[in-house]
Structure 1
Amino acid sequence: MTVNDDSFTNWKNREEIAESMIPIIGKLHRERDVTVLLHSRSLVNKSVVSILKTHRFARQIAGEELSVTDTLPFLQALTTLDLGPSQIDIGMLAATYGADDRGLSVQEFTAEAVAGATGADKIERREPRDVVLYGFGRIGRLVARLLIEKAGSGNGLRLRAIVVRAGGDQDIIKRASLLRRDSIHGQFQGTITVDEANGTIIANGNEIKMIYANDPSEVDYTAYGIKDAILIDNTGKWRDRQGLSKHLRPGIDKVVLTAPGKGDVPNIVHGVNHDMIKPDERILSCASCTTNAIVPPLKAMADEYGVLRGHVETVHSFTNDQNLLDNFHKADRRGRSAPLNMVITETGAASAVAKALPDLQAKITGSSIRVPVPDVSIAILNLQLARETTRKEVLDHLRNVSLTSPLKRQIDFISAPDAVSSDFIGSRHASIVDAGATKVEGDNAILYLWYDNEFGYSCQVIRVVQHVSGVEYPTYPAPVA
């Protein structure tokens, strides 16, 4: 047998193991509300090849590839436990087990590591929480995809309705088509049908009512059987408390804005300040995609090194706010053709840092350039630190943060030398540290942070909604603080 034959046989064996993992992962998700992760990446509804690629990606952050032969025993051990709703990272289980010298079996170690999700300590499964989308643009449709994907066992969040202004003939058909196919993010994972007579989109069995209204005051959500819902405003039309309060109609309990909030509206970056949300707070903002990209790594650097001052330059993909060709626009430069120009513009992300990190005394400035790519941006974060350090120390710190800290769902880490923007389309992290581009000299550190300003941000929105709805389940093994 040749070396090539050995490699092929090894691949087929790993394919067989990954194939055996799929029904276990699916059953845990459907029947127990358990989401199986691998280094913060969900394995739910993933194909054989996707599972193998996710294992291989571990080499980018952990330094060596993780094999399905290493993680399968931990997955099998989970099936023997009385698990409640939770997120369990089998990559972290394998890594921490390898470092444990007590001689425990995989079964014993797993039971100990996830003890908080079993027996008397486990969380009881909750009734589904209604969600309404107000607006159905780029972010709205991605949030819809994520809500449908996460419906799982039927508990948790359930998308009940979408509110839009009427768009003419076959409006619901066209909107369903935009949900079904996306030029950047690809095909919807599942099936979509339309019931025109009842004004309903049925996506993977989820019945979603299309409600037509020109203003929030026109809608009584209880008429559609909706109660205590969380409404996600994707329009950005109202950004202060007075405007957003219009959404607090019968059937709506809380309002979440997918844009920076103004005035006293809390700006929340999940992973950084979501714990500050008061239980009785009914209106809040998820800040901007750029704020979500820079605040987690800024916190990670400030906690370890201290930050005296900083500047962020964002190189941002163009958005629907710009024109395809030169035309009138209320802003000075955004009227110029987005696909043909680099466009200097402003960003409020730097000033928004103060809301998310009120204890950070450092002055952060910022500016932005819109460039001719449709998605994925990069933030260049230039920091003056409170102490001198080295490039290796900074990279080791950020790699560890991405693997084991409470920010591991926000911060990803990549060491690929040839990474470019399109590689990060579909990333579920708020920010991806590019190790190869990082520069450190004395007390100065320059971080290059990629982010999918559409999908990564939408994932952050969902995390905030899960938190305020009470269906944000704990992760095991617990992140290292």
Structure 2
Amino acid sequence: MTVNDDAFTNWMSREEIAESMIPVIGKLHRERDVTVLVHSRSLVNKSVVSILKTHRFARQIAGEELSVTETLPFLEALTTLDLGPSQIDIGMLAATYRADSGGLSVREFTARAVAGATGADKIERRAPRDVVLYGFGRIGRLVARLLIEKAGSGNGLRLRAVVVRRGGDQDLVKRASLLRRDSIHGQFRGTITVDEANGTITANGNVIKVIYANDPSEIDYTAYGIKDAILIDNTGKWRDRQGLSEHLRPGIDKVVLTAPAKGDVPNIVHGVNHDTIKPDERVLSCASCTTNAIVPPLKAMADEYGVLRGHVETVHSFTNDQNLLDNFHKADRRGRSAPLNMVITETGAASAVAKALPELKAPITGSSIRVPVPDVSIAILSLRLGRETTREEVLDHLREVSLTSPLKRQIDFTTAPDAVSSDFIGSRHASIIDAGATKVDGDNAILYLWYDNEYGYSCQVVRVVQYVSGVEYPTYPAPVV
């Protein structure tokens, strides 16, 4: 047998193993609310090739490839346990076991590592929580996709309605079409049907009522059977507590804004300050995509090295707020053609750091340049550190943070030498450290942080909503604090 034959036989063997994993992963998710991960990446509803690629990606951050032959025994061990709702990272289980099994079998090791999710310690399954989307633009539709994707167990967040202004004839059909097809993020994974008579869109069995209104005061959500819902405002029309509180009508319990808030509304970056949300807080913001991209790595650097001051320069994809061709715009420069120019503009991300990370006293400045790409941006974070260090030490620290820390869902890490912006379309992390571009000189460090300003941010929004609704379940093995 030739080397080529050996490689192909090995590939087919791994394909067969990945195929065997799919029904197990699906059953755990549907019946027990267990989400199976590999290094923070969900395997739920993934294809054979996607499962294999997710395992292979581990080599970029852990230094060696992870094989399905290593993780399958841990997945099989999970099926023997009395698991409650949780997220279980079989990649971390395999890596930890490889480093030190303690003389235990895979089944014994797994039972000990996920003990908090079993038996008397397990969390009871939550009742579904209603969600309403106010606005159905770029972020609204991606949040809808994520909510639909995560509805598999039937016990999490349940998208009940979308509120929009009527756009004319065929409005419902056109909005369903925009949900079904996306020029950047591709086809919707599943089926979508439209019921114009009842004003609903059904996506993968989720019946979503489309409510037409020009103002929150026009809507009685209880008339649609909606109760204690979390409303996600994707319009950005209201930014302060007074305006956002207009949404707090019968049927709506909390309001989450997908833009930076003003005044005393908390700006939340999941992974950094989401645990500061007070149980009685009814209005909050998920800040901006750029704030979500820079705050987690900024915290990681501040915790390890201290930060005396910093500057962030974002090279940001253009957005719907800009013009396709030169035309009037109330903001300076944004009236110039977005696909034809680099456009200097302002960013509130630097000032928002103080709200999300108040313990960081260092002054952070910021500016932004919009560039002619439709998605994925990069933040260049220049820091004066509290002590001198080396490039190797910084990269080792950030790699470890991306793998084992409480920030591992926010911070990703890549060593790919030819990485460009389009490689990160669809990333579910708030930001991705580009190891090859990182620069360190004594107490000065420059980090290059890629981020999908649409999809990665939408994932952060959903995480915040899961947290405030009580359906964000613990992860095992527990992250290293």
TM-score by length of 1: 1.00
SS at match of 1:186: coil
Q: Distance in 1 between matches of 2:200 and 2:101?
A: 56
Residues 367-399 of structure 1: CA distance to partner in whole angstroms, max 9, x if unpaired?
A: 000000000000000000000000000000000
Residues 323-353 of structure 1: CA distance to partner in whole angstroms, max 9, x if unpaired?
A: 0000000011000000000000000000000
Q: Distance in 1 between matches of 2:264 and 2:101?
A: 51
Output the aligned Cα RMSD.
0.4
Residues 163-185 of structure 1: CA distance to partner in whole angstroms, max 9, x if unpaired?
A: 00001111000000000000000
Deviation at 1:201, TM superposition (A): 0.2
Deviation at 1:91, TM superposition (A): 0.2
SS at match of 2:87: strand
Deviation at 1:101, TM superposition (A): 4.4
Q: Distance in 2 between matches of 1:163 and 1:467?
A: 23
Q: Distance in 2 between matches of 1:101 and 1:253?
A: 46
Residues 65-106 of structure 1: CA distance to partner in whole angstroms, max 9, x if unpaired?
A: 000000000000000000000000000000111111421000
Whether the 8 Å CA contact 2:312–2:365 is kept in 1: the answer is yes
SS at match of 1:428: coil
Q: Distance in 1 between matches of 2:452 and 2:183?
A: 15
- Per the alignment, residue 12 of structure 2 pairs with 12
- Per the alignment, residue 415 of structure 2 pairs with 415
Q: Distance in 2 between matches of 1:306 and 1:102?
A: 36
- Per the alignment, residue 221 of structure 2 pairs with 221
Deviation at 1:152, TM superposition (A): 1.4
Residues 111-157 of structure 1: CA distance to partner in whole angstroms, max 9, x if unpaired?
A: 00000000000000111000000000000000000000000111010
Deviation at 1:414, TM superposition (A): 0.2
SS at match of 1:463: helix
Q: Distance in 1 between matches of 2:214 and 2:468?
A: 27
Q: How does 1:297-316 map to 2 (within 5 A)?
A: 297-316=297-316
Q: Distance in 2 between matches of 1:369 and 1:458?
A: 22
- Per the alignment, residue 393 of structure 1 pairs with 393
Deviation at 1:457, TM superposition (A): 0.1
Q: Distance in 1 between matches of 2:468 and 2:159?
A: 15
Q: Distance in 1 between matches of 2:131 and 2:86?
A: 21
Whether the 8 Å CA contact 2:71–2:94 is kept in 1: the answer is yes
Q: Distance in 1 between matches of 2:386 and 2:136?
A: 44
Whether the 8 Å CA contact 2:339–2:371 is kept in 1: the answer is yes
Greater displacement, 453-462 / 92-101: 92-101
Q: Distance in 1 between matches of 2:361 and 2:196?
A: 55
SS at match of 1:187: coil
Whether the 8 Å CA contact 2:18–2:68 is kept in 1: the answer is yes
SS at match of 2:338: coil
Residues 231-264 of structure 1: CA distance to partner in whole angstroms, max 9, x if unpaired?
A: 0000000000000000001100000000000000
- Per the alignment, residue 194 of structure 1 pairs with 194
Q: How does 1:177-326 map to 2 (within 5 A)?
A: 177-326=177-326
Q: Distance in 2 between matches of 1:144 and 1:288?
A: 18
Deviation at 1:202, TM superposition (A): 0.3
Q: Distance in 2 between matches of 1:101 and 1:393?
A: 27
Q: Distance in 2 between matches of 1:239 and 1:86?
A: 34
Q: Distance in 2 between matches of 1:8 and 1:275?
A: 48
SS at match of 2:108: helix
SS at match of 1:182: coil
Q: Distance in 2 between matches of 1:115 and 1:93?
A: 13
Unaligned runs of 5+ in 1: none
Deviation at 1:413, TM superposition (A): 0.1
Q: Distance in 1 between matches of 2:101 and 2:338?
A: 57
Q: Distance in 1 between matches of 2:207 and 2:52?
A: 33
Q: Distance in 2 between matches of 1:126 and 1:14?
A: 36
- Per the alignment, residue 360 of structure 2 pairs with 360
Q: Percent identity of the aligned residues?
A: 91
Q: Distance in 2 between matches of 1:9 and 1:472?
A: 40
Deviation at 1:358, TM superposition (A): 0.4
Deviation at 1:267, TM superposition (A): 0.1
Q: Distance in 2 between matches of 1:108 and 1:18?
A: 23
Q: Distance in 1 between matches of 2:2 and 2:68?
A: 24
Q: How does 1:340-379 map to 2 (within 5 A)?
A: 340-379=340-379
Q: Distance in 2 between matches of 1:155 and 1:171?
A: 31
Residues 188-227 of structure 1: CA distance to partner in whole angstroms, max 9, x if unpaired?
A: 0000000000000000000000000000000000000000
- Per the alignment, residue 465 of structure 1 pairs with 465
SS at match of 1:323: coil
Q: Distance in 1 between matches of 2:291 and 2:101?
A: 41
Whether the 8 Å CA contact 2:315–2:371 is kept in 1: the answer is yes
Whether the 8 Å CA contact 2:101–2:109 is kept in 1: the answer is no
Deviation at 1:273, TM superposition (A): 0.2
SS at match of 1:446: strand
Q: Distance in 1 between matches of 2:387 and 2:438?
A: 17
- Per the alignment, residue 51 of structure 2 pairs with 51
Deviation at 1:357, TM superposition (A): 0.5
SS at match of 2:340: coil
> Stretches of 4+ moved more than 6 A in 1?
none
SS at match of 1:271: coil
Q: Distance in 2 between matches of 1:61 and 1:275?
A: 27
Q: Distance in 1 between matches of 2:6 and 2:464?
A: 47
Deviation at 1:39, TM superposition (A): 0.1
Q: Distance in 1 between matches of 2:86 and 2:153?
A: 13
Residues 4-51 of structure 1: CA distance to partner in whole angstroms, max 9, x if unpaired?
A: 000000000000000000000000000000000000000000000000
TM-score by length of 2: 1.00
Q: Distance in 1 between matches of 2:417 and 2:153?
A: 40
Whether the 8 Å CA contact 2:266–2:285 is kept in 1: the answer is yes
SS at match of 1:355: helix
Q: Distance in 1 between matches of 2:24 and 2:356?
A: 39
Q: Distance in 2 between matches of 1:221 and 1:32?
A: 30
